[in-house]
Amino acid sequence: MTAVPVPYRVVDRWPESPDTVTLRLEPVGEPLPAFVPGQFAMVWAFGRGEIPVSVSAIPTTGGLAHTVRAVGAVSQALHAARTGDVLGLRGPYGTGWELEKAEGRDVLVVAGGIGLAPLRPLIRDAVADPGRFGRVNVLIGARTPADLIAKRETRTWRTTYTGVTVDRPDGPWAGHIGVVTTLLAAAHFTPHTTSAFICGPEPMIRTSARDLAHRGVPGDRIRVSLERNMRCATGHCGHCQLGPVLLCRDGPVVGWDRAESLLYTREL
């Protein structure tokens, strides 16, 4: 990894939702070390600052890409980036999903909103080699149909089951309505031989992980991606501290057996 931003050029850009875009990037010179699914980079918009953004694709699954939602000054600047613009990246940082530890097991992915983006490389790897895993289930939730990302790609995944639900339907929506955990009844998995991967808003992570644990999925087989205010990404500033865990260093992906007590402690 490097603490100095490395220039990367935007070579492709496509909208995911009204406030979210995916940027595919290529190095201007020497590239950063290889990312693994679940890790993140500090992405620099020159003149504005930098923010942590998980990789939503890696070279083995479509080229290095980051999916950005415009919610603050830096993310708005990244959202406005056009093909040919140069951004700064440093990394890779953090822990990965460790899909390789799920070989021979059923795979269950639970994504909420833009939380699907960091799970994209994992899903692509899981469906690329169906003989490597058991049944693959992908459960996707969003606030409204407009907030769903990867709409076309979702329909191409050859999974055992892919379910999509929204909290509030609008327009001609004819799909499922409800929180993402209501899709569990339609999924095909054997709890004690399942590896689960969850990313999304923190309340959704807590509810989904808790429900899976109650169904018998082992806590150390439930991997969740957590978010805190990351500044240095090197474990020195302490802004991303969650109890004894520094998420930039010990996360963002951690086992539910470690995360559960931290997420249910109000002071943290």
**pLDDT at position 118, please?**
97
Q: Are residues 89 and 103 in the same domain?
A: no
CATH for 40: 2.40.30.10
Q: Tell me: do 195 and 106 sit in the same domain.
A: yes
Tell me if 259 is assigned to some domain: yes
Q: Are residues 78 and 169 in the same domain?
A: no
What is the distance between the alpha carbons of residues 108 and 232, in angstroms, rounded to a whole number? 32
Residue 267 is predicted with a pLDDT of: 56
**Domain hosting residue 182, numbered range:** 99-263
For the chain, which ranges sit under pLDDT 50? none
Q: Looking at the DSSP assignment, which residues form a beta bridge with residue 52?
A: 42
pLDDT at 238: 85
pTM of this structure: 0.95
- 268 within some domain: no
Q: What span, in angstroms and rounded, lies between the C-alpha atoms of 236 and 158?
A: 42
Residues 22 and 137 in one domain: no
CATH code (residue 163): 3.40.50.80
**Cα–Cα dist 107/99, whole Å:** 9
Distances from the Cα of 148 to the Cαs of 20, 65, 116, 125, 132, in angstroms?
Answer: 10, 18, 9, 21, 29
pLDDT score at 79 = 97
The last residue of a domain, from among 50, 78, 93: 93
Residue 94: name the closest of 57, 32, 30, 42 by CA.
42
- Nearest CA among 109, 165, 110, 111 for reference residue 135: 109
